Amino acid sequence: MRHVRSGLRPHQLGSEAFENPMFSRREAKSLRAALLSLALFTSATAQGLAQATPQEGPSVGGSRTERSQAKQKALLGDVLSASTTQPELMQILRNLTYGDVYAIGNLDDRTRELVTLVVLTTNQTLPQIKAHTHAALNVGVPPIEIREALYQVGAFIGFPKVINALEVVDEVLASRGVALPLEPKATVADHERFEKGRAIQQPIYGGRMRENLRDLPGSLPDDVSRLVTESFGDFYTREGLDIRTRELMIFCALATLGGTDRQLASHAEGNLKVGNSIETMASAMVQALPHVGFPRVLNALYAIKDVKVGAN
């Protein structure tokens, strides 16, 4: 597994930040491009908000607008209608989302839509979940994968958020003739949850959870670490979504939550261990940008840049 040099500060974004020989040129190029793209987005968006007028319409984007419209058609079946009250902002947002973001990184559209649905679920922006559930189905995401992606992040963002999102998802599935409930994908019995969960957790994260909690009183270190391990048994053992995608969805949810720097560092390492690349993680963060905002996306990119695989 390749390593990324740790200890760099956010302002160290020049080429020296990516010179570690364990960090491949392609990965360095991808992460540098992601950071540069975010900086350019900030400048372009501010300029667009300052200069756009209702009369300008599609001319703001040029070929970028054409790219945006083509992607909207591919995902949603048609170009979204113009806002009657906020046409300038919606034009900027759609060009950013469909003209820029979808053209950056190594993710296919199916993974992009899963990332988007997890981010929207974490933020509880339920109206947008409806549109992006349609988009996910349109680009070939199986309903089971949508469900499993949202199930996977429940223990991280809180289960009520997932329940709220799944109500919207189920409405879309029913409207498209999908029989509900979807088929079960659990693979372990209740009494197997701990052992099966530990078999997955240990190679990725080791015993650090119990060690980090050792100063809690009484049986709490054991009780809390057991609950975490059993959560691995509940969700990582399910069929319908591979472990790489499950870890990537968790990283996206943590980045969206904010205030999760410690967990981001741990799950960036976990993503590398299950086979996701630096480029894949960075691409997922760029995909989340329109829904999460620059500060949290940049914080996640810094965590990716500083990740290193160490001993458990």
Question: How confident is residue 286, by pLDDT bands cut at 50, 70 and 90?
Answer: very high
Alpha-helical runs (H) found in 19-100: 25-51, 63-76, 87-94
Residue 247 in any domain: the answer is: yes
Question: How confident is residue 31, by pLDDT bands cut at 50, 70 and 90?
Answer: low
pTM of the entire predicted model = 0.81
Residues of the domain holding 165: 108-185+238-312
Residue 217 in any domain: the answer is: no
Residue 166 in any domain: the answer is: yes
Residue 275 in any domain: the answer is: yes
Q: Six-digit token pair at 107?
A: 């993710």
Q: What is the pLDDT of residue 136?
A: 98
Residue 292 in any domain: the answer is: yes
Residue 25 in any domain: the answer is: no
Residue 42 in any domain: the answer is: no
Give one DSSP letter per residue of 72-121, joined into a string: HHHHHSSPPPPPSS-HHHHHHHHIIIIIIGGGSSS--HHHHHHHHHHHHH
Q: Six-digit token pair at 260?
A: 């999760």
Q: Can you tell me the mean pLDDT for 65-76?
A: 94
Give the span between the Cα atoms of 23 and 17, in whole angstroms. 10
Residue 83 in any domain: the answer is: no
Give the span between the Cα atoms of 216 and 136, in whole angstroms. 43
User: Is it the case that residue 184 has pLDDT exceeding 50?
Assistant: yes
Domain tally, the chain = 1
Q: What is the pLDDT of residue 44?
A: 43
Burial of 53 (0-12, 13-18, 19+ CB in 10 A): exposed
For the chain, the helix, strand and coil percentages under 3-state DSSP, each to the nearest 5: 70, 0, 30
Q: Is the peptide bond before 21 cis (omega within 30 degrees of 0)?
A: no
Contact predicate 198/229, CB 8 Å: yes
Q: Which residues contact 162 (CB under 8 A, 6 or more apart)?
A: 121, 150, 151, 153, 154
Contact predicate 42/100, CB 8 Å: no
| Domain CATH number, residue 124 | 1.20.1290.10
pLDDT in tens, 235-251: 999 999 999 999 999 99
Contact predicate 273/309, CB 8 Å: yes
